[in-house]
Structure 1
């Protein structure tokens, strides 16, 4: 039974998608003044192209002219999936101008709009269904401002409608939402998971003494702690805009870190310095984690709580992976299967990460040009 579980793990690695980029998000900003709601909605062009088709000549490249001719279709598609209500009545939404902006993961269409409500707003009811039928992992990140105060919310299929009080925002609910998003971010971040597994695979074999689960746990604790400290540091610095690195450099370096961590299991590169390697590469992974909060553009007051909640969620998700992996690995550490997994699995992880590195470093699948 346990051997089957490990074979399934190896198969899952082989079935990972070639690309492991930031999950699909959109960024919705609402500013409420009396009964008027001014909105801006940033939606990834790659997602819109998949949903309604923007590349009219089919050459795999998007130009401003192609996007401009689809402005009406973009507005209709998006606003049909966004409903705003206040004081028991729907607010009438009118589309405005559309622009192009660049986020950390590519080009976005910027849709501006106005919503007029029947009475001054005290509680805003927002229903969000963008890409609900196409991508169950898509999330909408909301920034709501009113009289200089900012609150946040995260929309997903399980939380498609939310009631947002302007007078007494639910800070605990906002914090919890970012904790959950941090957990989910690490669980679907294939590159982060493979990096972590590459570092964990030899832990039960290198522990001293080798037959001591406590020794294996201490080895894992050193690696995970070093990784946590490092990515927490750069996540904070990047989210507060104190340090900034180009997205392509960060994503390429993350892929390279997975390659090196996996190759280390085949040919020792770090030689007893895995915690230091985890710390060094964790600094790069932190910049990758920060992309969600950077793109949301929160003011510092709202950012600090979101930052702490998101980072806590990342740690919880990470610890869940460790808790599931370590006992199983320790149990099978002396079996032929585990040693084969260490070698063949590490080689497969390295191969997948090399594909990611080539894609990211050389932009071999770039489609969004001319913008």
Structure 2
């Protein structure tokens, strides 16, 4: 019981700082022809509110009037975080303010224009939006440079990138989205909790209403392979369908269903209903999780040939990131499987904590509430 209480307390303490602000993306589209640059920058209202404050009356809703009143401040804040150069610094300006809906909420749309000193050579992009406040933030860039399309992900360690008018390397394109696939599974806390909930019982066998440790590592490994393979196949299917634009579901439905999947997986650990076919749970809900992964690529609107390459790299990255989690979890779980610490603290306590967090997520997402900061 002491281990149980200690574990729950530790996890709750860690949850606050790690999940204090949801990871976000902005969408930057640039078209460069000669010295002239036009473009569009979509930034989530929740991120602007987080950075500079938009909700003037504090009622939890951002109106068009509140947004319009801060146009000058938004413009100054955004332009401080983005610079372009081609033969020298390009004079970047906001030409129009609009709003648009993405799969995860409402975005401010900044129409951009710029004039560069040179009509030839590489274009340099320096992106710094929110990096000092949210290291998980990413800028998803689509660039048409003299009719050659580039795509890139701007991150704190890749805040400055240069692009030429030559066709980009397929290897580089693949590698960048592969890395982001790994990154997105590691920061996708709901995806991780769902996977961990399915993995927690693989080193245990339920007999006579009680849990005991499995006899051999091979038994646990076989169960893990079934679960992970089912989850991988399922979310790869819907990730591909959604990213290619063939199937689309409302973000609120998808995010609510993902939270529900975590609830059911954790609840099944505490009150087992599905014991021998957890791979079936992994497959069914993996289909929903795939739509969650797809929003990263679908909203960017990449050209078909670039999207396919990016999709493959991103999906393989997700799988490698997922396998890394499994590789870290399984040996330790197998070693501790016969201890009270694992059965009561990690398995029961972890499942209970996961259930509580996921229930709050479900209420927030289904009812459009704000109950906690992560």
TM-score range, shorter chain: over 0.9
* 2:86 and 2:123 in contact (8 A); partners too: yes
* Residue in 2 that maps onto 1:369: none
The farther-off stretch of 288-297 and 165-174 is 165-174
**2:347 equivalent among 321, 338, 342:** 342
**1:287 equivalent among 287, 291, 294:** 291
Q: In 2 relative to 1, CA 8–268 (structure 1 residues): closer, same or farther, beyond 3 Å? A: closer
* Residue in 2 that maps onto 1:217: 221
* Residue in 2 that maps onto 1:40: 40
Q: In 2 relative to 1, CA 83–237 (structure 1 residues): closer, same or farther, beyond 3 Å? A: same
* Residue in 1 that maps onto 2:281: 277
Deviation for aligned residue 1:20: 9.6
Deviation for aligned residue 1:58: 2.4
* Residue in 1 that maps onto 2:307: 303
Q: In 2 relative to 1, CA 314–198 (structure 1 residues): closer, same or farther, beyond 3 Å? A: same
Aligned pairs, number: 362
CA offset digits 1:105-151 (Å, max 9, x no partner) = 11100001111111213311000111122111111110011354321
Provide structure 2 residue ranges, at least 5 long, that are not aligned to the other structure: 207-211
- The SS at the match of 2:316 is helix
- The SS at the match of 1:72 is helix
CA offset digits 1:40-86 (Å, max 9, x no partner) = 11011111112112122222221111111211111111011111001
- Pairing of 1:75-90 with structure 2 (within 5 A): 75-87=75-87, 89-90=88-89
Q: In 2 relative to 1, CA 198–20 (structure 1 residues): closer, same or farther, beyond 3 Å? A: farther
Q: Does 1:359 align with 2:367?
A: no
- Pairing of 1:153-302 with structure 2 (within 5 A): 153-206=152-205, 210-302=214-306
Deviation for aligned residue 1:209: 9.6
Provide structure 1 residue ranges, at least 5 long, that are not aligned to the other structure: 367-371
Q: Does 1:123 align with 2:122?
A: yes
* Residue in 2 that maps onto 1:62: 62
Q: Distance in 1 between matches of 2:20 and 2:257?
A: 13
The farther-off stretch of 55-64 and 70-79 is 55-64
Q: Which runs of 4+ in 1 moved over 3 A?
A: 6-10, 17-22, 146-149, 206-209
* Residue in 2 that maps onto 1:135: 134
TM-score (ref. length: structure 1): 0.92
- The SS at the match of 1:119 is coil
* 2:8 and 2:353 in contact (8 A); partners too: no
Q: Distance in 1 between matches of 2:59 and 2:8?
A: 38
TM-score (ref. length: structure 2): 0.91
